[in-house]
Structure 1
Amino acid sequence: MTDKTILKRSLGLWAIVGLGLGYMTPTVVFDTFGIVSGDTNGVVPLAYLAAMVAMLFTALSYGKMVRVFPSAGSAYTYTKETINPHLGFMVGWAALLDYILLPMVNALIIRIYMQSLFPSVPAWIWVVCYVIIVTGIIVWSMNSTSNVNMFLLVFSIALILAFIVLAFIQLFHGMGQGTIFTTVPLFHSNVHVSSVLMGATVVCFSFIGFDAVTMYTEEAKDPKAVPKAIMLTVLIGGGIFFIAAYFTQSLFPNISHFKNTDDTLPEIGLYVGGKIFQLLFIAGGFACTLASGLSSHASVSRLLYVMGRNGVFPKKLFGYVHPKFRTPVFDIVLVGAISLFAIAPSLDLISSVINFGALIAFTFVNFSVIAYFVFRKKRYKTGRDVFSYIILPLIGAGCTGVLWYFLHGDALKGGIVWVIIGFIYMLFKTKFFRAKLADFGFDEAEKPTELNG
């Protein structure tokens, strides 16, 4: 008999990869091109390459931990079970900042797109309609969410491929560098390591999504597929970013061509393919944003569900699974309600602190590998174990440390305020540590299993 109180296992490998890629929003490379090109002095693809290398080390750590804890809780679960329950809560709380704000960012971007097309229509209408549609799809089933996401993702990637074809033609006819094969987008005399790292700090957050893949572990048909899905998401997403950035940088060696460097996607589409392609390109950006909205909304609801199931948040609400839809309905609706706040603020106001939570999660997932395999399992007696469970996660943590160094001051301030709020909540919940935060024993989904394959 099917247990209707647990999440439904309906996602295959490529469905999970699609959700991760949808979360990453592949067309964001064109949106942020002007900003990153200015930061790096015209080597955007090199910044993406540096960011991808940094993310791969942390992706390896996620792959190791999801084999041990095939749970939807991601960094929260790994930290609480390997290091400390209270620290796990704080990591989960910090990660919520990233996960909760991203669906709101997507709602806000959709609002901006629709306002530009229909300026006479009140902005709140677009936000409300968007939130209702996305929330309804995710409540209905994870399978339908995956199918819609995959359709939108395929459409946007098809437009990126069309852009590459047009870029070939324009370069052949002398636009930009005037040649298809050139090293200038990767290196020239004005390139400095510090500027490349600053650009990598910006673009690395385009990769946020590979970590969210672990949120779907309990809905995977085969949990063993999740580590592979993590690596595929990073490699495929990184490949798309790098190739798109290479051709864009070849076409536009500097940002003098652009009137609006804050969002260059519309102008890139116009200069490369004319008015018709510009409209299609904007449609691709719209589709990517909607796909990211579905993926990010679905993933944060899973994190809230696990924290509710463990009693960190009220279990009757946050840990509830609808018996028919087999989805965490309360969590999904709550995220939708929060996304409605996209009616008022600016993109800068929300996005200034969105990176803080991701870096917290990345850092502690790397530390969790060391805590579990080295300190608990004593796997440090061979060269292979030292390399896999000490050196690689330390490199991952070190790469994250570099990103911490370049983190924007506003993001740091906003993140610290959020952490303080979480710490106060934890003090209240534990009566100043005189009581347990929750039952932190392994539940059925969080027992260490060390899946093979």
Structure 2
Amino acid sequence: MENTTLKRSLGLWAIVMLGLGYMTPTIVFDTFGIVSDETNGVVPLAYLAALVVMLFTAISYGKMVSVFPSAGSAYTYTRETMSPHLGFLVGWSALLDYILLPMVNALIIRIYMVSVFPTVPAWIWVVVYVAIVTALNAWSMGKTSSLNALLVIFEVVLIGAFIVLAFVQLSKGMGQGTILTAQPLFHSNVHLGAVLTGATVVCFSFIGFDAVTMYAEEAIDQRIMPKAIMLTVFIGGAIFFICSYFAQALFPDVSGFKVTDDTLPEIGLYVGGTIFKLIFLSGAFAATVASGLASHASVSRLLYVMGRNGVLPKKTFGYVHPKFRTPVFNVILVGVVSLLAIAPSLELISSFINFGALIAFTFVNLSVIAYFIFKQKRYKTVKDIFSYLIMPILGAGLTGILWYNLQADALIGGLVWVGVGIIYMLFQTKFFTIKIADLSLDEAERTSSL
């Protein structure tokens, strides 16, 4: 059983679909009111700024996944290029992002279902949803991927319907009254600080392109991983930009919304009427389930690699079921954590997610420099200096701008989580008197091959 490995069953588009499912394209409509108010009505500009930051980091992810085709993502890259201790802390920080997102999806499902069936106890919806998602992830990555792809296609079709209806409403004089307008991108009240703050908020929407690296050991051909990362970023970014452009053209400010914290239902109502509102809500439901499937799968893979490497108890976290070829114990653990969505608020959970993501983004960029410049000595040509030094420095620097604009409660909560990780690491290493368990990369690669 120790030699049982993850099953290589995912092609390029299956991985891209998992990334898009994780990103939840319809989230652009949920957060539109918040970001529009924050940016003074230039939501697409905030998405464009966030996309630029994400592209630099995506390129770094592509470089590192080619060198280290392991499911551990930022944890593995930092561990192999810098140190096992630092790698553990990066992995631990990323867990805050990865392990909370499945809970966020369960919580959103609870909110949706309670709004439709107010007399049914909220906890029932959480338990049923978590049980289904956990069972699918434990059973088969292939089945999880197939269902996720169907759900993503459904929500993309609905986004297409929104764009068509937006064309119609704009031509009738709604909002800006024209399809071609610069107002969603620039006007006299635009301030750089507000745009960057908005970009910090919407970078949450891009979380998912990095998560596709968790499927590196389940890709049919690991060489497709860099392409999968870039496709996920570009396609997701294009959807966010186009949708926010039309939404901003239709709604130049938030004065027309009754509820600005989640504007998706009202956008659907104003653009297509009551019937389209209900259909649009069904798309949001599908998007949330797709994100739940993908995020649940991703965090179980991170826990698996940390368990396989011995920094978490190997017998439990490093276990792969011999028949299902999935890290079944980790999948169940994530399901148990997701049940906590019965009680807390969405704001309480989601405020901490960006912290873990930004930690991962920062250290992936630094890992490129550590590996190619310091270990491989790739600094003798202009091309190498640009690719392995300047590009990741720009990626880390742009991520630093998002760090600067991170909400205080997210920073404080994230630092508390890191503190817990440091205490655990001190306990694990007996105050650094013994090494953190160290599985060589070569062995990891051998055990991942089929």
Same fold (TM over 0.5): yes
1:31 matched to 2:23? The reply is: no
Q: Distance in 2 between matches of 1:441 and 1:217?
A: 17
Give the CA deviation at 1:446. 4.7
1:15-94 to 2 correspondence within 5 Å? Answer: 15-94=14-93
2:146 match: 147
1:295 match: 294
Give the CA deviation at 1:441. 2.6
AA of the residue aligned to 2:370: A
1:344 match: 343
Q: Distance in 1 between matches of 2:364 and 2:288?
A: 27
1:401 match: 400
4+ residue runs of structure 1 moved beyond 6 angstroms? none
1:412 match: 411
Q: SS of the counterpart of 1:444?
A: helix
Q: Percent identity?
A: 75
Q: Distance in 1 between matches of 2:86 and 2:445?
A: 17
Q: Distance in 2 between matches of 1:83 and 1:394?
A: 16
1:328 match: 327
1:438 matched to 2:437? The reply is: yes
Q: SS of the counterpart of 1:255?
A: coil
2:273 match: 274
1:242-253 to 2 correspondence within 5 Å? Answer: 242-253=241-252
AA of the residue aligned to 2:172: H
C-alpha change, 1:85 and 1:72, in structure 2 (3 Å) is: same
The answer to whether the 8 Å contact 1:4/1:326 transfers is no
Q: Distance in 1 between matches of 2:369 and 2:338?
A: 36
1:13-412 to 2 correspondence within 5 Å? Answer: 13-412=12-411
TM-score (norm 2): 0.98
Q: Distance in 2 between matches of 1:445 and 1:439?
A: 11
AA of the residue aligned to 1:276: I
Q: Distance in 1 between matches of 2:444 and 2:83?
A: 18
Q: Distance in 1 between matches of 2:272 and 2:441?
A: 56
The answer to whether the 8 Å contact 1:74/1:214 transfers is yes
The answer to whether the 8 Å contact 2:84/2:438 transfers is no
Q: Distance in 2 between matches of 1:83 and 1:405?
A: 24
Runs of 5+ in structure 2 lacking a partner? Answer: none
Give the CA deviation at 1:109. 0.2
1:450 match: none
Q: Distance in 2 between matches of 1:251 and 1:9?
A: 45
The answer to whether the 8 Å contact 1:4/1:322 transfers is no
Q: Deviations over 1:368-397 (max 9, x none)?
A: 000000000000000000000000000000
AA of the residue aligned to 1:334: L
The answer to whether the 8 Å contact 1:70/1:445 transfers is no
Give the CA deviation at 1:437. 1.2
Q: Deviations over 1:24-80 (max 9, x none)?
A: 000000000000000110000010011001100000000000000000000000000
Q: Distance in 2 between matches of 1:444 and 1:38?
A: 51
Q: Distance in 1 between matches of 2:294 and 2:315?
A: 25
Runs of 5+ in structure 1 lacking a partner? Answer: 448-453
Q: Distance in 1 between matches of 2:371 and 2:55?
A: 20
Give the CA deviation at 1:444. 2.7
